[in-house]
Amino acid sequence: MSGASLPAPASVLPHRPPFLLLDEVTLLVPGERAEGSWRTTGSETFFAGHFPGRPTLPGVLMTEALAQLGAYAVLSDERLTGRLPLFGGIDGARFRRQVLPGERLDLRVEVLRLSARAGRAAGEATVDGAVACTCELMFVAVPA
């Protein structure tokens, strides 16, 4: 599935502003992979303190945006109906590019393993084609 036919992130994920870090999903293969984006506006409160005079998107929020896209992919799979994926861990996180206020983070997640109880995914975040973050995400699925 792709583009306009996909449900809005807030209709699939339990996250809500200010912690919904996924603006749109542009590609979905339920339980396998997804692509989407998050555009920062510059008015997010974390930019004021991270860092004054040189605002930078915190790396942990890049990994959270990837995790939310991964949650969208797995929650779209009928094997996880009635379940809630929770972060189980992050492996191999690498931050390769500073992300500035107003930039759009393009997100891609590939599910490597998925069961009704747990899973693992690989994620990549880019800005204008330049890699900003890569990581592997683990999750456990609990009753919603």
Q: Mark whether 50 is an active-site residue.
A: yes
Q: Which of 88, 57, 93, 59 is nearest to 71 (CA)?
A: 88
Distances (CA, A) of 56 to 26, 51, 97: 25, 6, 10
Select which of 15, 33, 50, 83 is catalytic: 50
140: which strand partners?
86, 118
Q: Which of 63, 130, 69 is nearest to 96 (CA)?
A: 130
Tell me the three state secondary structure of residue 72.
Answer: helix
124: which strand partners?
108, 134
| Catalytically active residues, by annotation | 50
